[in-house]
Amino acid sequence: MFCANCGKKLAEGTALCPWCGTPLTQAVKQVPPATVQPILINTIVPIFLLCSVGLFLASLTQPAFCTDGKCDPLPFGGLIVLVVGWMGVPAGGANVTWLANPLLAVAWITLVVAWATSLSPRALVVCFAALAFSFASSALAVIFSASFPSFAQVTIGTSGRSNAISHLHIGYWLWLSSMIVMLVGNSIQLIVLGVQALQREMKETHVQSPERADIR
């Protein structure tokens, strides 16, 4: 038989768990207690992370947008915007949305950290902090990237000359989708975390209730 509180295997007829001190009158189970699921579901993290990375890489192979009514899409236009887009960030406006790229990278890295530490009970604080940071980074990335269509002009390179944004190409939509997918994945993970924390709390309350009844 097993202790319902700590899960240690006990000899038949044991009245008090020598490991955690739980009275076993009502707290004994004949099968091992269900193990607590990891904070992160191992299948969810790779799926959303790989989809986000895949969409981002696909966006680099496609044209992102057209300016001044000249719509002659360049192959790997998204890659060009990624490489030179940072130069226009000081100009503000639509160029600031380029910052969604490093934010997305931070979301990827911190989610991998959360995933790697999720199976270690001693690293749950690090896991939660990394997951929360990944969620915040992906949310900011979505805000920045989704705001791009609201701007009428964009500065190309360091010339300081503004160009009218005339059309959005598939590269932009793939880029935006990669960040939305990441945000959705992080949101699901946070919901799972909350549900599991609630389940653990309810389980602990249920296990402790017989002990309180015996004391009274």
- How far is 131 from 113, CA to CA, in rounded Å? 8
On whether the pTM is more than 0.85, the answer is: no
- For residue 172, give the nearest of 38, 22, 67, 29 by alpha carbon: 67
- How far is 27 from 140, CA to CA, in rounded Å? 47
**What is the 3-state secondary structure of 180-216?**
HHHHHHHHHHHHHHHHHHHHHHHHHHHHHHHHHHHHC
Query: Where are the domains positioned within the chain?
Result: 1-35, 44-208
Beta-bridged to residue 9, according to DSSP, are: 2
Question: How confident is the prediction along the chain (216 residues), in pLDDT tens digits per residue?
Answer: 667 666 677 777 777 778 777 776 644 444 444 444 454 556 677 889 999 999 999 999 998 888 877 765 566 688 988 998 888 888 888 999 999 999 999 999 999 888 887 766 667 778 888 889 999 999 999 999 999 999 998 887 666 678 888 888 899 999 999 999 999 999 988 888 777 767 766 766 655 554 444 444
Q: Quote the tokens at residue 137.
A: 């980074």
